[in-house]
Chains A and B, each alone.
Chain A
Amino acid sequence: MHTRRDLLNRSAQLAGMLASLGLWPGLAQAQAQAGAYNAAAFEAKSLAEVMKALGGSAPVESKDVSLIGPDIAENGAVVPVAAATTLPGVKCLLLLVEKNPAMLAAVFEPSEAVETHIGTRVKMSQSSPVFAVAMLADGRVLYAVKEIKVTLGGCGG
């Protein structure tokens, strides 16, 4: 049985190794500076990979978690979204955009002094389901999903 800490350590080590080998140029410096940045999670392409990189169990859909966002976003470059849950003991709140090149957008780690309702703005390359995932201290991983339609993609160029 692997604990979350083991997995996190291992992925950090692996990222460090890859970075020191120069496989991820530019990352070595960032790793040295940022320390705890979980690069593996931000490279992941699916929800399962993200959960693996973060050491969480398989997510379950739940009414207690919500994703707040528009039904239709006119501009995919700035889509206001928020993740919220009413449950206590939240370790992490995640925002994920399924059809982006890398799925994970943001990981929030709120302390007791912060309400578990955190908003930001994300880029969306195309219309896609957007996930809010809450990782709880008791090991449960719950999610909510909402389809957001984008009329103008945010990753053009």
Chain B
Amino acid sequence: MADPMRIRAQANGDKTTVRVLMSHEMETGQRKDAAGKLIPAWHIQQVSAALNGKTVLTAQWGPSVAKNPFLQFNLKGAKPGDKVAITWVDNRGERRSDEATVV
């Protein structure tokens, strides 16, 4: 199981800035190991964000998103105390969900 994500959701007036730092290798499938063999691609393919259980953002990612991916977006109409949940799925089918409270 991958390490937990770090999620911050900070309300500022009527908009809430959500910053997510995921822990993932994001191997591109282009690199070679010491023996000259290609390291197979291993990266997050799908990300979704939910506010109080309702999906507000989905994303599809290719291998060119940086290692330990960072994601930032602004929510409209979220209030302190609301729950922001982020889920990712990688190309090996592994997944991870984490949740944070808007402050």
A residues near B (Cβ < 8 Å) are 26-27, 29-30, 32-34, 36-38, 41-42, 77-80, 82, 97, 100-102, 104-115, 117-124, 154-157
Contact = CB atoms under 8 A, between A and B. Distances in A.
Given A26-B40, A111-B57, A123-B67, 7 more contacts: A34-B93, A114-B49, A114-B75, A118-B72, A120-B69, A121-B65, A123-B65
B50 to A, nearest CB: 10
Chain A binding surface SS class: mixed
Contacts of A115: 15, 73-76
Nearest to B91: A30
Nearest to B63: A102
Nearest to B34: A157
A18 B81 CA distance: 46
B76 A157 contact: no
Given A109-B57, A119-B72, A155-B30, A97 B64 contact: yes
B66 A78 contact: yes
B40 to A, nearest CB: 7
Contacts of A32: 93
Contact of A34 (B41, B45, B64): B45
B59 interface: yes
Given A106-B60, A114-B73, A114-B75, A120 B65 contact: yes
A117 B61 contact: no
B36 to A, nearest CB: 11
A157 B57 contact: no
Contacts of A119: 70-73
B65 A122 contact: yes
B10 to A, nearest CB: 14
Interface string B65-89: 1110111111111100000000001
A85 B63 CA distance: 24
B32 A114 contact: no
Contact of A113 (B41, B71, B76, B89): B76
